[in-house]
């Protein structure tokens, strides 16, 4: 009994001496089994460990860091990402030599890999992560069916991926100096349309749809939709996990409409034309047009069949009565001039625009109670419509714009309906007085480049008979005559100019400067006196006060 105890005590004493010796010789060193970024520094002093780490790792710090993220491979520059290694903190994370004897014994048989500790410049690192996302993130590709000509092709679905930014940051900060390719975590972004759904759409919808032409039976002639035209108007949309066919009616109509054009009748309103200086009625014509909504309603079922006998549609026609019939036009009482006005003195380029707008407006009919809008009637007035660059007044100085000169037509039309006694429904005078127009009795118009209205000219036919607009253009002047039944006599009274504002002087631009004389600003009141045409009795007086801005003298730099 005594002998085993002695042996045990001796063993224990030996282990105590061994523990003490190990503790003595390794005091202050990096724990055994520790490696940093793949460099074994276990059991070394801190100074020696740091020296070894610098020797092994420092060359890596300026090298590109390769990465794999799902299906994407690439690399980034750690310096541009703002990454810098903290040597002291990297070693400090290994801790001190453990005092626990069991831990010390275990360290002989285990290894511990540590990442580096990184100081990252926040803005640079965030920008680097954004750049990584641009390279790594991939939108999912939904399964689909597309057409190449008339041949349907399957588009196989493909899952997308998105970088797990926070987890990727942690991995980069800890292991960017390891010298090995990093695996960055990504999350899958799933698709909703499976390969099976693609195959079903291909075989059950797309292939039958283009298997043969579709005949459209019209009145007196037939049209044909070829497989290519069908394919151009057929597509698929992902919805609730299914590929749903979509028919683009506009493209389908474009394919077959030319074949059936002669079976349709274009409608035409009655128009007032001026022959021999007198208005005459050009008869209206009712339209007979295909109702494409109704005609194409059975098309999905027709496309599903491969039986050539069943691939037919019947064109459905509908009558489209004229908005202004011959009878209505003849009963509008358009028989005499009720108001007219002429202006002249325009430049050739402005004359082009005035001619174009005059041709558009000529023959327009305004029914009783209707309001005529110049901007709405003409629509956009740009180069595609035949308008050209011409002179305008911009901020008191000469300039150019497409459609310049239209305000002269507006002024002429305004005065024509002014003297016809029709109700002004909205107009605006020029900011600066233009001497060729009657003061206080003129108008301007303006549109945005897309044709939307900014400043309009509008009048309402407040009589019980119709009004027709006649325009007469020559290279020297423009005349607007309003025809109808005369209800009013109109007198125009213009007061004296008041509240004069003296002009100043403004310096023109360095290039393309056009000097101009100054002009006083002033205020003037014009009164329209409307009288009954048969009795001469005054019905009402309409005063309107207009203030014109002063126009500064423009002095060009070379004239200083």
Ordered per-residue pLDDT tens for the chain, 560 residues? 577 665 655 555 544 444 444 544 455 577 766 777 677 777 777 777 777 777 777 788 888 999 999 999 999 999 999 998 887 777 776 655 554 554 444 445 445 667 678 888 999 999 999 999 999 999 999 999 999 999 999 999 999 999 999 999 999 988 888 888 999 999 998 999 999 999 999 999 999 999 999 999 999 999 999 999 999 999 999 999 999 999 999 999 999 999 999 999 988 888 888 877 788 888 999 999 999 999 999 999 999 998 878 899 999 999 999 888 898 888 889 999 999 999 998 989 999 999 999 999 999 999 999 999 999 999 999 899 999 988 776 655 566 777 888 999 999 999 999 999 999 999 999 999 999 999 999 999 999 888 899 999 999 999 999 999 999 999 999 999 999 999 999 999 999 999 999 999 888 777 778 787 888 999 999 999 999 999 999 999 999 999 999 988 888 886 54
452 within some domain: yes
- Return d(Cα 224, Cα 136) in angstroms, integer: 48
Whether residue 149 is contained in a domain is answered as no
pTM of the model: 0.56
pLDDT recorded at residue 23: 47
Residue 60's pLDDT is 80
What's the confidence (pLDDT) of residue 156?
94
Strand (E) or helix (H) holding 378: helix 374-378
Mark whether 286 and 354 lie in a shared domain: no
Query: Do 14 and 82 lie in a common domain?
Result: yes
pLDDT of residue 32: 67
Residue 446 lies in a domain: yes
Is 162 strand, coil or helix?
A: strand
Burial 281-300 (b: 16+ CB within 10 A, else e): beebbebeebebeebbeebe
pLDDT for the residue numbered 219: 93
The pLDDT score that the predictor gives to residue 511 is 77
Q: What is the pLDDT of residue 47?
A: 74
pLDDT of residue 397: 52
Residue 146 lies in a domain: no
Confirm whether 544 is domain-assigned. Answer: yes
Residue 296: inside a domain, yes or no? yes
Two tokens, residue 186: 């990504």
Does 521 lie in the same domain as 415?
Answer: yes
- What distance in Å separates the CA atoms of residue 272 and residue 290, rounded to the nearest whole number? 28
How are beta strands 498-501 and 467-473 bridged, if at all? unpaired
Last residue of a domain, one of 313, 328, 343: 328
Give me the count of residues in the chain.
560
The residue from 298, 313, 328 where one domain ends is 328
Position 109 scores a pLDDT of 45
Statement to judge: residues 442 and 340 lie in one domain: yes
**Which token pair is 382?**
């740009």
Residue 311's pLDDT is what?
95
Last residue of a domain, one of 328, 353, 368: 328
Per-residue pLDDT tens over the stretch 263-277? 999 888 888 888 777
Query: For residues 272 and 468, is the Cβ–Cβ distance under 8 A?
Result: yes
301 shares a domain with 251: yes
Which CATH number is 200's domain given?
3.10.20
**Whole-number Å distance between alpha carbons of 38 and 36:** 5
Domain contains 261: yes
Q: In the chain, count H helices and then E strands.
A: 16, 38
**Residues 477, 544: one domain?**
yes
Can you give the residue range of the structural domain that contains 273? Answer: 196-328
**Do 322 and 342 fall into the same domain?**
no
Q: Is residue 307 located within the same domain as residue 412?
A: no
* Same domain, residue pair 364 and 279: no
Q: Cα–Cα distance between 211 and 214 in angstroms, integer? A: 10
Residue 555 and residue 476 share a domain: yes
Which residues face 275 on adjacent strands?
278
Residues 368, 267 share a domain: no
Pairing of β 65-69 and β 182-183: parallel
The answer to whether residue 173 sits within a structural domain is no
Number of domains in the chain: 3
* Closest by CA position to 163, among listed 130, 137, 125, 140: 137
pLDDT recorded at residue 19: 47
CB 198 within 8 A of CB 143: yes
467 and 346 part of one domain:
yes
9 burial type by CB count under 10 A (0-12 exposed, 13-18 middle, 19+ buried): exposed
């Amino acid at each position: 009994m005594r002998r085993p105890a002695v042996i045990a005590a001796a063993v224990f004493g030996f282990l105590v001496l061994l523990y003490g010796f190990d503790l003595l010789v390794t005091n202050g060193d990096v724990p055994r089994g520790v490696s940093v970024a793949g460099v074994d520094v276990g059991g070394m002093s801190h100074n020696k460990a740091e020296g070894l780490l610098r020797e092994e790792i420092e060359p890596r710090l300026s090298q590109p860091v390769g990465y794999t993220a799902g299906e994407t491979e690439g690399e980034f520059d750690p310096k541009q990402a703002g990454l810098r290694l903290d040597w002291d903190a990297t070693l400090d994370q290994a801790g001190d030599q453990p005092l626990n004897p069991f831990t010390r014994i275990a360290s002989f048989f285990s290894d511990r890999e540590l990442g580096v500790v990184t100081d990252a410049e926040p803005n640079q690192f965030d920008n680097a992560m954004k750049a990584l996302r641009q390279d790594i993130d991939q939108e999912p590709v939904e399964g689909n069916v597309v057409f190449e000509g008339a041949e349907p092709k399957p588009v196989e679905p493909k899952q997308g991926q998105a970088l797990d930014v926070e987890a990727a940051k942690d991995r980069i900060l800890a292991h960017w100096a390891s010298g090995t390719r990093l695996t960055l975590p990504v999350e899958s972004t799933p698709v909703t349309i499976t390969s099976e759904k693609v195959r079903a759409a291909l075989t059950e919808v797309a292939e039958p749809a283009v298997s043969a032409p579709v005949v459209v039976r019209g009145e007196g002639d037939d049209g044909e939709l070829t497989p290519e035209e069908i394919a151009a108007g057929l597509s698929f949309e992902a919805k609730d996990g299914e590929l749903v066919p979509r028919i683009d009616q506009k493209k389908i109509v474009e394919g077959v409409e030319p074949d059936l054009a002669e079976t349709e009748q274009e409608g035409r309103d009655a128009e007032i034309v001026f022959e021999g200086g007198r208005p005459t009625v050009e008869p209206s014509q009712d339209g007979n047009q295909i109702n494409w909504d109704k005609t194409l309603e059975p098309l999905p079922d027709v496309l599903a069949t491969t039986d050539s006998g069943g691939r037919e549609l019947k064109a459905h026609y509908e009558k489209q009565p004229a908005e202004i019939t011959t009878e209505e036009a003849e009963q509008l009482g358009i028989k005499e001039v009720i108001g007219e006005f002429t202006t002249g003195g325009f430049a050739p380029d402005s004359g082009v625009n005035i001619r174009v707008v005059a041709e558009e407006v000529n023959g327009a009919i305004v029914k009783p109670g209707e309001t005529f809008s110049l901007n709405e009637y003409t629509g956009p007035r740009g180069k595609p419509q035949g308008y050209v660059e011409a002179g305008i007044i911009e901020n008191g100085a000469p300039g150019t714009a497409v459609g310049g000169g239209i305000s002269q037509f507006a002024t002429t039309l305004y005065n024509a309906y002014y003297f016809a006694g029709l109700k002004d429904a909205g107009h605006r005078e020029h900011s600066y007085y233009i001497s060729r127009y009657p003061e206080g009795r003129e108008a301007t118009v303006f549109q945005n480049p897309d044709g939307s209205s900014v400043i309009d000219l509008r009048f309402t036919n407040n009589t019980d008979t119709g009004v027709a607009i006649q325009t007469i253009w020559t290279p020297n002047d423009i005349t607007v005559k309003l025809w109808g039944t005369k209800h009013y006599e109109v007198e125009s009274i213009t007061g004296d100019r008041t509240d004069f504002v003296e002009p100043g002087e403004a310096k023109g631009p360095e290039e393309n400067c056009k000097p101009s004389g100054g002009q006083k600003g002033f205020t003037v009141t014009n009164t329209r006196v409307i009288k009954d045409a048969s009795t001469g009795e005054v019905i009402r007086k309409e005063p309107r006060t207009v203030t014109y801005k002063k126009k500064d003298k423009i002095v060009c730099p070379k004239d200083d």
